[in-house]
Amino acid sequence: MTYNIHIITGLSGGGAEHLVLDLSQRAKNDDKKVVVISVTSLNDIEHKFNKLGITCQFLNIDSFSQLGQGLKKLKTILTPFQPKPVVHCHMFHALWVAILLKLTGFSLKIIFTLHNNIVSSVIRRWLLFVTKPLRAKDIIFSERGEKWYLKKGVVLPNGINLVKFKSNKELVIDQPKIFKFLFLASLTEQKNPLFIPDLVVKLKVSGHTNFKVYFLGSGPLKDSLVQKIDTLKVQDHIELMGFRNDVPEILKDFSAQIMPSLWEGMPISILESGSVGLPVITTPVGSIPDFLDESTGYLADLDSFHLKVIDLMSDYQKAQQKAQKFKIKVHTEFDIDKIYDRHQQLYSQC
C-alpha cells in the first residue's frame, strides 16, 4: 500500500494521538503518502506532525451544525484515493464520521481502534454493534479487549518510538531522599487526577512525607484539582507542570510513575516510562494487566494504592529490579517498528 490514512477525533497530547504520530513518521520514512485527518479543531500537537513534514487536515466538526460541511471536506480529501481507500479510524467520533460518509454511498474500507476497553454510553455500544458490518477490521490491544459490540478483534498492541526515549541522562537508581512521582496524563475523569490529593493525605497519615507528585498534563479537571489541593492543604506535595513537549527528555528525572486510572485501553505513557526503566504503579484496568504484572511493576486498586506507593518507597531497589524487567519487555515487544509492520500487514489485507 502506497498510502496511510488516519482519522482521529482531535490532536490532543494523548496516547492515541502519539501512536498516530509515530505510525505516520514510520510511514513517511517508507515513502508512503501520509494523510492525518482530525475530526475536531482540537490541536495540541500539530506542530509535531509539521516538524516531520506531515500536513494535518481538520474537519472542524466541533458541533452538530458543522457535520455536513465536515463530511464534504472528508469526501474531498479521500476522493483521490478511490476506489475504496483504507482508512484507520481512531476513537469513536472518528469512526462515526467515516461511517456517515460511507452511508452516503462513498466507498471506503474502515479499520477501527477504540483505544479504550470501556464504552460507558449504552447508545454508543449499540451504534458500534449495528455498524460492525460496515467495518473491515477492529483492532484490540489484547484479548481482554474483546467486546460484544466490536468485531472479533485483531490483537495488535500499542508501540512507542524507542529512539525518542534514548538519552545520555542517567536514571537515578539510588534510594531517593525525596521521591518524585510522575502523573503523566490528561486531567480528565478517566485518568482520575482528583484521587491524587487523597493519596497524598493517606501517605502523610502513614508517616511518609519525603515525596512530591508532579502533574504533566492539562484538561478540564484542572480547576477542580487545584481546589481540592487547596482544600486538603497538600500544596507542598503537589506541583502542576502543565502540558509538556519534552517528556522524553525529563522522564529520567522522576522516581516512579503513578497512574490511578478508572478505565484504560493500553496507555502509551506506561510504555514510555518502561522504556527508560522508570518504575510504574497503576490500577489494573483495561489491557494493562496483559503487559504489566507484579514482576514488572505494581498493580493496585484505589483502596490499596497508597500501600503500593509505600512499598516502593520502602524498597526502591526492588522497584528498580521490576522496572528493568519491564524495560526489557518494552524494548522486545513494543518497538514502534514492529507495531508499524503489523499495521501495514493489516492494511494490505483489507
User: How many domains in the chain?
Assistant: 2
Residue 280 and residue 75: Cα distance in Å, rounded?
43
Residue 327 and residue 126: Cα distance in Å, rounded?
39
Residue 175 pLDDT: 80
Residue 198 pLDDT: 98
Residue 169 pLDDT: 59
Mean pLDDT by 10 residues, the chain (350 residues): 95 92 96 97 95 97 97 98 96 98 97 94 97 97 92 94 77 81 96 98 97 95 98 98 87 95 96 96 96 98 98 96 96 96 95
Residues 204 and 145 in one domain: no
The kind and range of the H/E element at 102 are helix 92-103
Residue 309 and residue 303: Cα distance in Å, rounded?
12
Residue 146 and residue 318: Cα distance in Å, rounded?
34
Residues 196 and 308 in one domain: yes
Q: Cα angle vertex 265, ends 264, 271, to 5°? A: 95
| Domain membership of residue 187 as a residue range | 163-333
> What is residue 126's DSSP assignment?
H
Q: Cα angle vertex 241, ends 237, 245, to 5°? A: 145
Residues 209 and 293 in one domain: yes
**Count of alpha carbons within 13 Å of 231, Cβ hemisphere only?**
10
Residues 173 and 155 in one domain: no
Residues 312 and 343 in one domain: no
Residues 40 and 107 in one domain: yes
Residues 219 and 307 in one domain: yes
Residue with cell 471506503: 108
DSSP-assigned letters across all residues of 304-323? GHHHHHHHHHH-HHHHHHHH
The pTM score is 0.91
CATH label of the domain that carries residue 16: 3.40.50.2000
Residues 24 and 141 in one domain: yes
Residues 40 and 90 in one domain: yes
